[in-house]
Structure 1
Amino acid sequence: MESNDSFIMLATFEGPYSVQLCAFGLFLPLFVVTIVANVAVLATVAARVDLHKPMYMFLCSLVVADLISSVSTMPKQFQMLLTGDNRILYTTCMAQIFWINVFVIMQVLTLAAMAFDRYVAICFPLHYHTIVTGKRAIIIFSLWSLTISAFVPVTILFAPLKLKDSDRQMQGILCDNIGFARVSAGDTRIHEAYGSGIIVVLIALPLSVISFTYFRILPECKRTHSSDFKNKAMYTLFTHFLLLMLFFIPLFLSALVPRLGCETSAAVPSTQVSSCPYQM
């Protein structure tokens, strides 16, 4: 049986138990639908040879990342809603941090790869099959390898840290790097420096790649005289831009805004937990 020394406290859903049960009844079907839909996408792409194309391979990469994120985080949230027990094991928290980080970075890198794929298809259509198609498996494998390799050191750095004897309350409903460092008793400056480096390399650089591809594709669309080509190119840009917005808007809201909120609400202990959700 685990001792209380190995537990960390997560923020809980504030409300009567009946409301928590309603939330459980609402989110559980959504979770099941998400899992089934993602598995269906993977099965469809695997079964149909005509879908074995780079964009669908990248889509499958996004789906796998989404599955990992959902399975590694949602069961604990359902348990908290049902039991009200907001304790999470140290080892479970470490695993959750690892897979959430992998999910976020994998999404960013895959979206950057999709942007590059569209850039080559639109700006260099005659060379597309030699540049991208033959290397799709290598690209996807490299993205996953890079992402996992980047966060293995984070886990190794966090592992020796001891938890504080008191104040083990995280500010979010999920385990995250900043929250874990906050409840740790040791020096976390190395962790913060490494985390900042990852943000620069694995988020800022992919965003730069995405911006570059957009700036190159848009002039190409204006120069072409083929309305069919222009329509296909703009549709491609629109669908990719929609994916970007669906991912980055929630990411920025959950990572950047709460940090500012935590600073301004630090003097109000009663609202500190509920006002600071997941931070990367």
Structure 2
Amino acid sequence: MAAFNLTHSDPSTFILNGIPGLEAAHIWISIPFSTFYIISLVGNVTVLLAVSKEQTLHKPMYLLLCMLALTDIGKSTCVMPKALCLFWFRSKGITVDGCLTQMFFLYAFAAMHSAVLVTMAFDRYIAICNPLRYSTILTNARIAKLGLVGLIRAVLLILPVPLLLRRLPFCANRVILHMYCEHMAVVKVSCGDTRINRMYGLVITFVIIGLDLTLIGLSYGLIIRAVLRISSKNAHWKALNTCTAHICVMLMSYISNLFSTLTHRFGQGIAAHVHILLAILHILVPPMLNPIIYGVKTKELRDKVGKYTCRM
């Protein structure tokens, strides 16, 4: 307790409280969380290794899958090692700089993840609406450039978030009622005027999600129009089937993100532990399921992963 009080009064340190009201169950809660994290790492690393080892998978669609896997690994790894230390060893302290760094990388990876989903929608649009020019429009080099644009956008949009927080004074009670440095949870610890921080956080959420969902919706609108022009119903299903994996991943990612964000900001009637559990599940569950979804729906990837794992 003395060590806790010492850390608690340290002006360069925040205290991560974990899941309020469920502190006694932290060890038990850590079991499914650590399991999800391990499955996510194994699945995404397997995808990365299979694509890197197999020359036949060096195509735009699989390069995008690798980008998606990297952002999934990045998001969950920003949070889980520190969260598990909190659960297992009651290591609650985190420096202010460490907290802001965690926040920056978490949201930057999330923004990059969204950009990859937009690029995947564009990939499906070209594959269905302009298949004869697919190989000339979407080259590996162009995919790499689009990935770089997504990275630059993420850095430029997210960098002001920790910088705006850095200028704020923080209260003597420096306890963050969360298991990681979530933006709004840190904002609530400040004793200063946080209107700019709150507004910028909300604007960024709707700019990234709103713009990206609009672009994805436009791509799928054009895809549906092209599919409806095909006379054969079998061709309809075959064309749409190539999009099912992306649609599942996209819906899972955006719905969980929006629900977690909006309930944390506006769901005052929802218990704190529900907010936090929703937030951590949003970080853990999509990265765990994404490689499974693409493995099931993409025969070529499934075959190569099976071949690669058999070699091991």
TM range, normalised to the smaller chain?
Answer: 0.7 to 0.9
The CA distance in 1 between the partners of 2:23 and 2:114, in whole Å, is 37
The CA distance in 2 between the partners of 1:136 and 1:48, in whole Å, is 18
1:259 to 252, 255, 265: 265
Matched, 1:9 2:31: no
Distance change in 2, residues 1:239/1:29 (3 Å): closer
RMSD of aligned C-alpha atoms? Answer: 2.5
1:160 to 150, 163, 167: 167
Could you give the per-residue CA deviations for residues 180-217 of structure 1, whole angstroms, max 9, x where no partner exists?
A: 22212333333334334323432211100111111111
Q: Please tell me whether the aligned partners of residues 177 and 185 of structure 2 are also in contact (alpha carbons under 8 angstroms).
A: yes
Could you give the per-residue CA deviations for residues 220-270 of structure 1, whole angstroms, max 9, x where no partner exists?
A: 1121135564333211222211111221222122111233322x36xxxxx
Equivalent position of 1:276 in the other structure:
275
Equivalent position of 1:55 in the other structure:
61
SS at match of 2:171: coil
Distance change in 2, residues 1:228/1:130 (3 Å): farther
Equivalent position of 2:105 in the other structure:
99
Equivalent position of 2:120 in the other structure:
114
The CA distance in 2 between the partners of 1:125 and 1:229, in whole Å, is 14
Equivalent position of 2:310 in the other structure:
none
How much has 1:114 moved relative to structure 2? 0.5
Equivalent position of 2:302 in the other structure:
none
Equivalent position of 1:268 in the other structure:
none
Equivalent position of 1:150 in the other structure:
157
Which stretches in structure 2 are left out of the alignment for 5+ residues? Answer: 1-5, 283-312
Aligned residue pair count: 271
The CA distance in 2 between the partners of 1:157 and 1:64, in whole Å, is 27
Equivalent position of 1:183 in the other structure:
189
Instruction: Give the counterpart letter for 1:259 in structure 2.
Output: R
Taking every aligned residue pair, what percent have the same amino acid on both sides?
30
SS at match of 1:165: coil
Instruction: Give the counterpart letter for 1:37 in structure 2.
Output: G
1:216 to 222, 225, 233: 222
Could you give the per-residue CA deviations for residues 42-62 of structure 1, whole angstroms, max 9, x where no partner exists?
A: 111111121111221111111
Equivalent position of 1:140 in the other structure:
147
SS at match of 1:276: helix
Instruction: Give the counterpart letter for 2:175 in structure 1.
Output: Q
Instruction: Give the counterpart letter for 2:273 in structure 1.
Output: S
Range moving further from structure 2, 45-54 or 152-161: 152-161
The CA distance in 1 between the partners of 2:126 and 2:260, in whole Å, is 33
Q: Please tell me whether the aligned partners of residues 97 and 177 of structure 1 are also in contact (alpha carbons under 8 angstroms).
A: yes
Equivalent position of 2:297 in the other structure:
none
The CA distance in 2 between the partners of 1:220 and 1:103, in whole Å, is 33
Equivalent position of 1:207 in the other structure:
213
Range moving further from structure 2, 215-224 or 8-17: 8-17
Matched, 1:20 2:26: yes
Q: Please tell me whether the aligned partners of residues 104 and 158 of structure 2 are also in contact (alpha carbons under 8 angstroms).
A: yes
Q: Please tell me whether the aligned partners of residues 9 and 88 of structure 1 are also in contact (alpha carbons under 8 angstroms).
A: yes
Equivalent position of 1:225 in the other structure:
231
The CA distance in 1 between the partners of 2:23 and 2:11, in whole Å, is 28
The CA distance in 2 between the partners of 1:32 and 1:77, in whole Å, is 14
How much has 1:26 moved relative to structure 2? 3.8
Could you give the per-residue CA deviations for residues 56-106 of structure 1, whole angstroms, max 9, x where no partner exists?
A: 111111111111112211011111111334333212211221122112211
SS at match of 1:5: coil
Higher relative contact order (CA 8 A, sep 6+): 2
The CA distance in 2 between the partners of 1:185 and 1:260, in whole Å, is 20
The CA distance in 2 between the partners of 1:195 and 1:16, in whole Å, is 29
Distance change in 2, residues 1:8/1:276 (3 Å): farther
Runs of 4+ residues over 6 Å off in structure 1: none
